[in-house]
Structure 1
């Protein structure tokens, strides 16, 4: 066989393989569009044929905007991938995430994954979740919150004093300062350790890496779906590779120091360790829970506070009403407490509306339909399919809320929430802390922290936003919002 003939046979072999691959791809797409059990559900055909469009928008950080467009175009139930349905209504919350005998487990590919593989409360199976939630629930109780108030007050005071010192030098990036306060707080409340962000006026390395860790996880989910985890380092941006493994080591070292040194402080670890009998947590579980709680409990609060600051300052009437409520209710900064801020109805409405407009968790928390299938909103969904409520689309859908893209805190006030034009708002569809037995344990602490910090900030300072930041909320989303700096001028109130 001469070289030319050999080359000809090789080319024929490649052509045959390419032809087979092409036939498989075409057959796969045709099956998904025309023969698949989800074929009757509305949605664009390209998305039904392949997960490529979903992954493209996820990679670009624009999936939340595109899913909202699809929900507006196709309705509250949309097929967004060959085996996935996205929902945008209250009924789906109850069916997918509510209490049920055969729990819809978390999707094995698109759920969160811990860097070490140990289960934490966010990813655990039903039995493990029940055990861990029992231990952690004491740390998030009302009595525990009251015990933590001195810590909240301490870091609120630190934040205010640092802002008072630095505000004379010019506009401040409030995203950074609110992030410093949130992470220092959760570090102390989780394992009695101060990250030192407020003291130094800069991000601790662990804090700085949070956004990169969220993005890395987003890429891992996509590579796992396509079965290329073994070569993921060639497809993941270099700056993201290894961030989660690197930073859980920091959390593990912090936990170990806390256990070895002991503490009289009733932090989250105190409640875990004091009830850590044979039904307690393993050391590996304690590490991943401390790691996850320190992120979930701080990043979400920092995001909500930053969003509330932006929305407040770009709506002058909201800002003026908030200032009046806080300053007319309190005659001194020391009067601002967890108890007193619970009575600030307009502040609470502003926080709730912020969570609707700019939810810290804006993505879908995917679940897998159990064997035998499930009826969701009157339509049967076969077992093995991925389903979930997409937070951002649900909160911005015009069929769920009046003026969905406008910041209107009045829709949540007791005196106006049930009156026109808000009486038709589907408020049950808004679940920023999720729903059912796996809802967020820390929601009461999060809201209390936001009320306290915001009230103190409004009491001490007059605020204004620097020009040119009107599009601040137009951000990419990869697990967490990719927040931009928010420059504000603060002027201490003269009294």
Structure 2
């Protein structure tokens, strides 16, 4: 009996000690968190920058909106309230000025490197041009530049025209019913870029449906955004609990497919007369060139990033044109008066269509395919920098938020209005658009890391949009009462996880009057 009492007393003492240590740990944790929050708000070097206190104190608000896919909308609201610069995290500043583009992303002796917290890795861990450090990026870009040169683009026009023809045939076969034209733009750009990247025939246009390779992209992009948040909190190891097995498998399967098709294309090199990306990369490769693994990951990344962004811009252009009948009339009139047959619609000729280009420029402003911030880190080798006239200490994360900058009323007159005229010389130098800050619109980024595929993207957008507008009168579907069935919030209600999560864009197509005889 005495031994039992002694054991119970001993257990009680141990339990009591455990509770005291737990309470002490909890109290110390609370003190630490409160101290960190207090420091971030009142003593941090960024304490004088404008922004909501909750965002300055902790990263939780940013993560909350990012998790729900509406961070783009919230940061726009913050800039509208606080101005060109906003503190959106304990150690991060968001900008919307053209000066910030030049200082943060422009050519510098010491580069503002990508913030490692937000930098993503490839499935194999090998660096591609999107995530590479400065020496690796410079080396890879030197080789990839050959594949995206003006000479290469001219030689690739036959491939571009071939897929544009397939698009028109696919739309023609299905125009009796309302067509999700956004999906068909995706089919076109994925087929095209996969072919140019590594000679892969994805076959979306032929089948009229998404290939599993393509269908997995939105889920993979969403998971990568979640992974960035886990990295920030230092729990990247928990990724497996947030990433469904199906998504992880799809990402690796896509990478393996890219590697396989690249291997097949390389084996045929010399026996195939195709001016695709690999033709130029292999022709220029040398001892300082890219390894086989680097070619694989770059082909994979280019095929994803290059196709999604172009299809998004084309979908946006159709949406805005149908919402603005006067702009639609001006664009179709220009295209149809310039060409009398589809064979006349070439890359060189569509460049002459000023209004069509203005439509795409305005679309890229209002609905940029990349609508996030590309965060950079102020180099620790420097004592800080001045951005927008104010000092920013070393180690601070900085960046221009695309969507907020392009929609800022500080940068544009009637910033939310779709007005292609603001890009035309006869209007841009006069009221009401004379004071628009057009230099702030950098949809392909800025500086030495800007998008290599910019010229290709412009060629695709102008060629495809011109062909579609030349062939078809496009309208919204109508309900039983004859009223247009249009989702007014098609763009504004979208969520953003790296790429926009786009709902269907259903339209009706009718052969344009007087075009076909």
TM-score normalised per structure 1? 0.98
1:493 and 2:500 are equivalent in the alignment:
no
Secondary structure in structure 1 of the residue aligned to 2:86:
strand
1:251 and 2:254 are equivalent in the alignment:
no
1:413 and 2:432 are equivalent in the alignment:
no
Secondary structure in structure 2 of the residue aligned to 1:375:
strand
1:197 and 2:216 are equivalent in the alignment:
no
CA distance in 2, matches of 1:64, 1:293: 24
* Counterpart position of 1:264: 273
The change in CA–CA distance for 1:238 and 1:397 in structure 2 (over 3 A counts) is farther
1:479 and 2:498 are equivalent in the alignment:
yes
After TM superposition, the structure 1 = structure 2 runs for residues 7-406 of structure 1, keeping only pairs within 5 Å, are 7-168=15-176, 170-236=177-243, 240-262=247-269, 263-371=272-380, 372-406=383-417
Please list the CA deviations of residues 8-27 of structure 1 after superposition, one character each: whole Å capped at 9, or x if unmatched: 33222221111111111111
Q: 1:455 aligns with which of 454, 457, 466?
A: 466
Which has more radius of gyration?
A: 2
**2:199/2:261 contact within 8 Å kept:** no
CA drift at 1:237: 5.5
CA distance in 2, matches of 1:137, 1:235: 37
CA drift at 1:247: 1.9
* Counterpart position of 2:449: 438
CA distance in 2, matches of 1:255, 1:23: 55
The change in CA–CA distance for 1:412 and 1:274 in structure 2 (over 3 A counts) is same
CA distance in 2, matches of 1:56, 1:241: 23
CA distance in 2, matches of 1:24, 1:256: 54
CA distance in 2, matches of 1:365, 1:113: 15
CA distance in 2, matches of 1:202, 1:18: 55
CA drift at 1:493: 2.4
Residue ranges of structure 1 left out of the alignment (5+ in a row): none
The change in CA–CA distance for 1:238 and 1:405 in structure 2 (over 3 A counts) is farther
TM-score normalised per structure 2? 0.93
CA drift at 1:246: 3.1
CA distance in 2, matches of 1:398, 1:239: 43
Structure 1 runs (4+) greater than 6 angstroms displaced = none
CA distance in 1, matches of 2:201, 2:449: 29
Please list the CA deviations of residues 406-452 of structure 1 after superposition, one character each: whole Å capped at 9, or x if unmatched: 11100001211111000110111110111111111111110111111
After TM superposition, the structure 1 = structure 2 runs for residues 464-475 of structure 1, keeping only pairs within 5 Å, are 464-466=475-477, 467-473=485-491, 474-475=493-494
CA distance in 2, matches of 1:341, 1:237: 44
**1:192/1:267 contact within 8 Å kept:** yes
CA distance in 2, matches of 1:22, 1:315: 55
The change in CA–CA distance for 1:246 and 1:24 in structure 2 (over 3 A counts) is farther
Secondary structure in structure 1 of the residue aligned to 2:286:
coil
CA drift at 1:134: 0.8
**2:146/2:280 contact within 8 Å kept:** yes
Secondary structure in structure 2 of the residue aligned to 1:416:
helix
CA distance in 2, matches of 1:11, 1:234: 31
CA distance in 2, matches of 1:239, 1:407: 40
Please list the CA deviations of residues 24-47 of structure 1 after superposition, one character each: whole Å capped at 9, or x if unmatched: 111110111111111111111111
CA drift at 1:235: 3.3
**1:43/1:79 contact within 8 Å kept:** yes
CA drift at 1:469: 1.4
CA distance in 2, matches of 1:44, 1:388: 18
CA distance in 2, matches of 1:306, 1:122: 25
CA drift at 1:238: 6.0
Please list the CA deviations of residues 186-238 of structure 1 after superposition, one character each: whole Å capped at 9, or x if unmatched: 11211222210000001111111111111111111111111111122223456
CA distance in 2, matches of 1:123, 1:317: 42
Secondary structure in structure 2 of the residue aligned to 1:415:
helix
CA distance in 1, matches of 2:246, 2:408: 35
**1:366/1:388 contact within 8 Å kept:** yes
CA distance in 2, matches of 1:461, 1:235: 44
The change in CA–CA distance for 1:272 and 1:258 in structure 2 (over 3 A counts) is same
CA drift at 1:460: 0.8
**2:59/2:89 contact within 8 Å kept:** yes
Secondary structure in structure 2 of the residue aligned to 1:447:
helix
Residue ranges of structure 2 left out of the alignment (5+ in a row): 1-8, 478-484
**1:184/1:196 contact within 8 Å kept:** yes
CA distance in 2, matches of 1:190, 1:234: 33
CA distance in 2, matches of 1:65, 1:213: 22
CA drift at 1:240: 3.8
